[in-house]
Homo-oligomer: A and B are copies of this chain.
Amino acid sequence: MRYIIVYDITDDNLRTLTSETLKDYGLKRIQKSAFMGSLKKHALNSLLTDLRRMVNVDSVIVFPLCDSDFRNMVSIGKEFVEEEKQDVQFF
């Protein structure tokens, strides 16, 4: 299943640790504080466990994104490329 992860994290080190963790799980950065990618159930559960251990006062929200929602996404401004075909990191 595909997921979008968005976060508001104040501490620089924790924010870096969070983005590195998301990259470790193979997720692609689509904005400064937003990642996207596909995860199997066990990987999602492992990621949630890691994030719950790291994040307390800040906010991380994980959205599943079904195929229909993904197809109907709209990107405005900087071009956003579908992550399966290309590396989505575009800045």
Contacts and interface: CB of A to CB of B under 8 A. Distances in A.
A20 interface: no
A58 interface: yes
Interface string A59-84: 11111111011001111111010000
The size class of the interface chain A forms with chain B is 20 to 34
In the complex, the count of this chain's copies comes to 2
Interface of A: 4, 6-8, 30-34, 48, 51-52, 55-66, 68-69, 72-78, 80
A90 to B, nearest CB: 9
B32 A61 contact: no
B4 A63 contact: yes
A69 B78 CA distance: 26
